[in-house]
């Protein structure tokens, strides 16, 4: 942290930079496992960076580094002062700093993943930080959770429901979850998975790959010149 | 006093300040801060030392330019003994400078960014205050306010203190904030940056160094 970054501004419209993907969701739903899985599957074909927002120090970043799915230097940890949602929604400055720091050190990158600290159903990423976002739930929170909604469930570009292998054990009805999620998401995609069984999160990786290709197609052109550079 | 100063000093300014406790997290961990009375003592000490130093630097930054940026930043370094505090001040300064250049674009801010990519926070605060039309005394007041309000909020979060009691405490500090700003502004009116307030706070230095070595941290500083 804290290196002397070069003095340049990224164009706010995203030209010339990587796609920024936010991953949010409640504590224990599988956000870090998803990040590890995406790194495992996408790492060989994409230039990646990861920013973690740990509630406690560098727990998640350390987990990812130990998992060996990505060069440890490409994983940056941000502390959020007791308020994980503030750091991804109201005051995104430290996260932007971390993302831009990764791009300056390792860029150009194709994808930077920002993992939120575990939060509640009201958490959502600012559009100033994440271009696209995934909200991760798990079945063990109960099959009523999608019905309860909240901006993560209703507006995330992808809703991922994890730990389907536990559904019979906790009495969660996946049909109910699927129906309720569809009802509040206005056609936006919902995927079910068990990251314990699918350690590459292949369905999610495929969705992300589509986003990255689409982003590159629209934003890799040289940035328009501005007077504030 | 103007509306821009209110915006600049507001904790809702999205410049990363919410994740800094200014030593409060470690003071809570050590037991030094454990209730409103001990928080009051901590904040008074902080204001009289780090707060006054920051206020002096912010006031001086209002009229800085050219080679003055690097010089003032070096003065800030010389007044910040703890490497952890220097790091925290530079991180906060860099973040404030980045958002301020989008909110209040000004040639002086571009010049500062070119001269010092990650300047100390009070230096940036003063530069931004100038860009918004504030006086050196306004900038000093914002720095003094900043020196106590962030740590006070951190204490509310960490200890579950009654937020109204803590705000009453802050209201009680208002005259001291005004005095700090006046002292800082008159020190910088002398025009010599080496003569700016240079009050050391060894306890804060130690807290910062202990904090950065702590495995479980919620705040950056």
What pLDDT does residue A120 have?
83
Count helices and strands (H / E) in chain B: 11, 0
Q: Is B91 in CB contact (< 8 Å) with chain A?
A: yes
Residue A221 has a pLDDT of 55
- Say if CB A172 and CB A138 are below 8 A apart: no
Instruction: Determine, for residues A57 and B21 on separate chains, whether the beta-carbon distance falls below 8 Å.
Output: no
End-to-end CA separation in angstroms for chain B: 30
Find out whether the peptide bond into A139 is cis, omega within 30 degrees of 0.
no
Contact B137, B185 (CB under 8 A): yes
The confidence band for A5, taking pLDDT boundaries of 50, 70 and 90, is: very low
Q: How confident is the model at residue A56 (pLDDT cuts 50, 70, 90)?
A: low
Tell me, yes or no, if B158 comes closer than 8 A to chain A by beta carbon. Answer: yes
Contact call for A57 and B217, based on CB within 8 A: yes
**Chain B residues close to A92, C-beta within 8 Å:** 14
Structural domains of chain B sorted by starting position, each given as residue range(s) with its CATH number in brackets: 21-212 (1.10.4190)
Question: Any known ligand binding at A188?
Answer: no
Residues of B in contact with A228 (CB under 8 A): 101, 105, 110
- Read off the pLDDT of residues A158-205 as tens digits, 9 standing for 90 and up: 999 999 999 999 999 999 999 999 999 999 999 999 999 999 999 999
| In chain B, % of residues over pLDDT 70 | 100
CA A133/CA A115 separation, integer angstroms:
10
Tens-digit pLDDT profile for residues A127-150: 999 999 999 999 998 899 999 888
Residue B176: Cβ-neighbour burial (10 angstroms; 0-12, 13-18, 19+)? middle
Helix axis angle for B52-61 and B163-189, nearest 10°, is 50
Interface contact B44, partner A, CB < 8 A: no
Reported ipTM: 0.85
Are A123 and A85 within 8 A, CB to CB?
yes
- How close A80 comes to chain B (CA, Å)? 5
Measured in residues, chain B has a length of 221
Residue A171's alpha-carbon distances to A100, A123, A135, A195, in angstroms, are 44, 26, 22, 19
| Cβ-based contacts of A80 with chain B (< 8 Å) | 19, 218
Residue B157 to residue A81, Cβ atoms within 8 A = yes
CA distance A81 to chain B (A): 4
Does residue B98 sit at the A interface (CB-CB below 8 Å)? yes
First to last CA, chain A: 23
Mean confidence (pLDDT) of chain A = 88
B106 and A CB contact within 8 Å: no
- Which chain A residues are Cβ-neighbours of B211 within 8 angstroms? none
SS3 B206: helix
Q: How far apart are CA A156 and CA B26, in angstroms?
A: 37
Q: Would you state the pLDDT for residue A228?
A: 42
pLDDT confidence of B217, banded at 50, 70, 90? confident
Q: Domains in chain A, please, with CATH?
A: 19-217 (3.40.50.300)
Selecting from A87, A94, A228 the residue whose C-beta is nearest the C-beta of B105 gives: A228
CA distances to A30, A76, A118, B1, B203 from A36, rounded to whole Å, are 10, 14, 16, 51, 41
pLDDT tens-digit readout, B15-69: 999 999 999 999 999 999 999 999 999 999 999 999 999 999 999 999 999 999 9
Closest of A108, A55, A47 to residue A77, by C-alpha: A55
Decide: B137 and B181 in contact? Cβ < 8 Å: yes
Greater confidence (B196 vs A62) lies with: B196
**Cα–Cα distance for residue pair B87/B77, rounded to 1 Å:** 10
Find out whether A29 is annotated in a ligand binding site.
Answer: yes
Of A3, A81, A97, the CB nearest to B18: A81
Most confident of A51-65, B1-15, B40-54: B40-54
CA distance A223 to chain B (A): 17
Reported as a single tens digit per residue, the pLDDT across A75-103 is 998 988 888 899 999 999 999 999 999 99
Which residues of chain A have a CB within 8 Å of the CB of B20?
81
Q: Which chain B residues have a beta carbon less than 8 Å from that of A6? A: 117
Q: Which of A51, A83, A94, A96 to mutate to test the interface with B (most CBs of B within 10 A)?
A: A94
Alpha-carbon gap, residue A200 to B53, rounded angstroms: 52
Q: How far is CA B94 from CA A158, A181, A212, B122, B123, in A?
A: 33, 41, 29, 11, 10
Res A222 pLDDT > 90: no
For residues B16 and A90, give the distance between their C-alpha atoms in angstroms, rounded to a whole number.
10
Tell me if A177 sits within 8 A of A139, measured CB to CB.
yes
Distance from C-alpha of B57 to C-alpha of B129, rounded to nearest angstrom: 12
Q: Determine whether the annotation assigns residue A189 to a binding site.
A: no
- Chain centre distance of CA A47: 16
Question: Is B3 near chain A, with CB under 8 Å?
Answer: no
CA distance B186 to chain A (A): 32
3-class DSSP string for chain A: CCCCCCCCCCCCCCCCCCEEEEEECECCCCHHHHHHHHHHHHCCCCCEEEEEEECCCCHHHHHHHHHCCCCHHHEEEEECCCCHHHHHHHCCHHHHHHHHHHHHHHCCCCEEEEECCCECCCCCCCCCCCCEEEEEEEHHHCCCHHHHCCHHHHHCCEEEEECHHHHHHHCCCHHHHHHHHHHHHCCCCEEECCCCCCCCCHHHHHHHHHHHHHHHHHHCCCCCCCCCC
Nearest to B99 among A83, A86, A93 (CB): A93
Interface touch B91/A1, C-beta < 8 Å: yes
The answer to whether the CB of B221 falls within 8 A of the CB of A79 is no
Tally of CA atoms within 13 A in the half-sphere of B76 that contains its CB: 32
Out of A57, A86, A93, name the one closest to residue B15 (CB). Answer: A93
Across the interface, whether the CB atoms of B220 and A91 are under 8 A apart is answered: no
Q: Which helix (H) or strand (E) holds B193?
A: none
């Amino acid at each position: 942290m804290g290196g002397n970054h070069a003095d340049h501004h990224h164009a706010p419209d995203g030209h010339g930079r990587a796609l920024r993907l936010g991953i949010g969701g409640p504590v224990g739903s599988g956000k870090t496992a998803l990040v590890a899985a995406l790194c495992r599957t996408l790492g060989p074909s994409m230039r990646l960076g990861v920013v973690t927002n740990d509630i406690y120090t560098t727990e998640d970043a350390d987990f990812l580094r130990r998992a060996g799915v990505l060069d440890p230097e490409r994983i940056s940890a941000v502390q959020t002062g007791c308020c994980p949602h503030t750091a991804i929604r109201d005051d995104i400055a430290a996260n932007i700093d971390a993302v831009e720091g990764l791009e300056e050190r390792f860029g150009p990158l194709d994808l930077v993943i920002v993992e939120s600290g575990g939060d509640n159903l009201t958490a959502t990423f600012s559009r100033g930080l994440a271009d696209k976002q995934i909200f991760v739930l798990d079945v063990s929170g109960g099959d009523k959770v999608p019905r309860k909604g909240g901006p993560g469930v209703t507006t995330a570009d992808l809703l991922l429901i994890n730990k389907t292998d536990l559904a019979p054990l906790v009495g969660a009805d996946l049909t109910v979850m699927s129906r309720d999620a569809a009802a509040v998401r206005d056609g936006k995609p919902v995927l079910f998975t068990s990251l314990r069984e699918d350690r590459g999160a292949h369905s999610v990786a495929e969705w992300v790959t589509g986003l990255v290709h689409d982003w590159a197609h629209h934003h890799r052109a040289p940035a328009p010149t501005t007077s504030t550079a | 006093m103007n509306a821009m100063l209110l915006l600049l000093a507001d904790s809702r300014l999205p410049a990363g300040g919410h994740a800094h406790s200014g030593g409060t997290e470690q003071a809570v961990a050590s037991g030094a801060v454990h209730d409103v009375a001990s928080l009051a003592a901590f904040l008074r000490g902080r204001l009289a030392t780090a707060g006054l130093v920051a206020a002096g630097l912010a006031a001086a930054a209002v009229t800085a330019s050219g080679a003055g940026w690097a010089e003032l930043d070096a003065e800030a370094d010389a007044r910040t003994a703890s490497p952890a505090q220097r790091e925290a001040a530079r991180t906060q300064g860099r973040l404030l400078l980045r958002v301020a250049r989008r909110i209040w674009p000004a040639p002086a801010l571009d010049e500062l960014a070119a001269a010092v990519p990650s300047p100390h926070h009070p230096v940036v605060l003063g530069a931004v205050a100038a860009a918004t039309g504030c006086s050196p005394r306004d900038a000093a007041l914002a720095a003094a306010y900043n020196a106590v309000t962030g740590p006070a909020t951190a204490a509310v979060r960490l200890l579950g203190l009654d937020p109204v009691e803590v705000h009453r405490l802050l209201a009680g500090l208002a005259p001291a904030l005004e005095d700090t700003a006046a002292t800082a502004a008159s020190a910088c009116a002398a025009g010599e940056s080496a003569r700016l307030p240079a009050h050391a706070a060894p306890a804060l230095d130690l807290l910062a160094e202990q904090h950065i070595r702590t495995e479980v941290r919620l705040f950056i500083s």
